[in-house]
Amino acid sequence: MAQTISTAEPVRSQVTARTRATFRRRIQWVAYLYILPAFAIIGAFHILPVFYAIYISMNKGAINKFVFVGLDNYIRALSGGEFWNALVVTFSYALMTTPFTIALGLFFAYLLYQGVRGRGVYRVIFFLPYVISTVGSAIVWAWVFDPQSGLANFILKRIGLEPLRWLIEPSGIFEVIADGRHWTIPTWAYGPSVALIAVSIFSIWQSMGFDVIIFLAGLTNIPGELYEAARMDGANPLQLFRHVTIPLLAPTTFFVVVISVIGSLQSFNQIFTMNQAAEQSLGGPLGSTSTLTVYMFDQLYTFSNYGYASAIALLLSLIILALTLFQFKFLARRTQI
């Protein structure tokens, strides 16, 4: 069998060759058999239920006593303020978590990929947050954010900043800052609530390990001789990162970005458990952490509005789907995936 990777080949052409689509081949009908097992399960447990949800979303009333109302639930969602508020919270939360999680994940994965001493220990440590069940870690973080005795305020005071009330502070971050300095700022400039920022910090902490693991796997998949070749060409570490790591890691990065966006837009567990650990109402304080999924959950179990909750869930799914399509169209093309 012939050797396929020639170390003499320039890096760039390698990149293109490795990531080129499989357009050269003829149609392989056998592919349907390959995807059949996965689709049988996913079809039964993840696709069929969506049709049920669509049906429910056009009804109102109690379980087993549904009354058909057409698109009323959708109209109600789109015409009321609560849905749009929740949408703003959802996107604020996604913007405050995803970029940081991905950047930190890549950063630490790259550091770990260098042959540092004790990397085995580090790898366990970075992964720990993702391992501990959220019930446990939420208790710990409620303590970190405790206004009186918590670690977060201890640090703020040490660096000479005003302590915050974190998880119980419904005011926007810029509102709090402006208040402290007796400035007046317009309502639209209040920014996300301090409580939402606190939950985001918790979320970044928890998800970082997940990204580290995936990036590590991606980095490990990059053939070492590509680095070797680039180094022979006189590349410094920064150039190596820029011209070898970044392009060859593109499929992994793309994956992480898509998955993180999907995950953060329907984030629920982290908010729910933090709310509980801090003795807040769901999506509290005062609805300032109420993302669309939290809002949906509340409608589902506090209000028992099954139809309306399903409509919200499906609207959210459509928004995520649109964003994902956009990513595939533009990001995927740019990274030659």
Partner 1 sequence: MKRTIVILLVLALAVIAAACSPAAAPAPTAAPPTAAPQATTAAPTTAPTSAPAAKTVELQFWHGQSQTQEKALNALIAKFNASHPGIKVTGTFQGGYSDLYKKVTAAIAAGSPPDLAIGYQNDIANYINSDAVVPLDDYMKDPKIGFTADDLKDISPSFIDKYPQFGNKVYSLAFMRSMEVMFYNADMLKAAGFDKPPATWDDFMKACAAASKPPDVVCYEMPGSGAASTFSYMVWTRGGELMSADGKSFTFDQKAGLDAMTMLSDLFTKKYAILQAKSYQDQTDFSLGKVLFTFGSTAGLPYYTSAIKDAGNKVKNWGIAVPPHNTPNPIVDVYGPSVAVFKTNADKQQAAFVFIKWLMDNDPSAEWVKASAYFPPRASTKTALADYIKANPLYGEALGWVQYGRVEPTFYAAWNPTRNFIGDAMVAVANGKATPEQALKDAVQKANAALAGK
Partner 2 sequence: MAVASRRLPTADRARFGLGRLVLHLMLVAGALWAVFPFVWMVLTSLKGYAEASAAETFFPSRWLFSNYVTAWNQVGTFPRYFGNTLFIALATVLGVLVTSTLAAYAFARMEFPGRDTLFLILLATMMVPFEVTLVPNFIMIRNLQWVDHYQAMIIPWAASAFSIFLLRQFFMAIPQELYDAAVIDGCGPLRFLATIVLPLSRPALVTSGLLTFLGSWNSLMWPILVTNRPEIRPIQVAMYSFIGDAGTQIQLLLAAVTISVIPVIVVYLVLQRWFIEGIATVGIRG
Q: 319: closest CA among 103, 99, 97, 88?
A: 88
Residue 282 binds which one of partner 1, partner 2, none, with CB within 5 to 8 A depending on kind? partner 1
By CB under 8 A, the residues from 32 to 71 that bind partner 1 are: 33-34, 36-37, 40-41, 44, 61-65
Q: Report, in Å, the least distance between residue 169 CB and partner 1.
A: 8
- Kindly provide the residue ranges of all beta strands, DSSP E only, lying in the chain, ordered along the sequence: 59-60, 67-68
For 137-163, give one letter per residue: b (16+ CB within 10 A) or e: bbeebbebbbeeebebbeeeeeeeeee
Distance CA 337, CA 335 (A): 6
By CB under 8 A, the residues from 153 to 212 that bind partner 1 are: 165-168, 170-171
Residue 325 binds which one of partner 2, partner 1, none, with CB within 5 to 8 A depending on kind? partner 2
Cβ atoms of 227 and 210 within 8 Å: the answer is: no
Residue 152 binds which one of partner 1, partner 2, none, with CB within 5 to 8 A depending on kind? none
Say if strands 67-68 and 59-60 run parallel, antiparallel, or are unpaired. antiparallel
Q: Which stretch binds partner 1 (CB under 8 A): 101-109, 245-253, 276-284, 318-326?
A: 276-284
Distance CA 16, CA 231 (A): 19
Which residue of 12, 17, 279, 303 would you call a contact of partner 2, by CB under 8 A?
17
Cβ atoms of 289 and 275 within 8 Å: the answer is: yes
Q: Report, in Å, the least distance between residue 258 CB and partner 2.
A: 7
For residue 241, state whether it binds partner 2 (rule: CB under 8 A). no
For residue 47, state whether it binds partner 2 (rule: CB under 8 A). yes
Distance CA 307, CA 299 (A): 9
For residue 132, state whether it binds partner 2 (rule: CB under 8 A). yes
Q: Report, in Å, the least distance between residue 187 CB and partner 2.
A: 30
Distance CA 189, CA 108 (A): 34
For residue 115, state whether it binds partner 2 (rule: CB under 8 A). yes
Query: Which residues of the chain form contacts with partner 1 (CB under 8 A)?
Result: 30, 33-34, 36-37, 40-41, 44, 61-65, 142-143, 145-148, 150, 165-168, 170-171, 275-282, 284-287, 298, 301-304
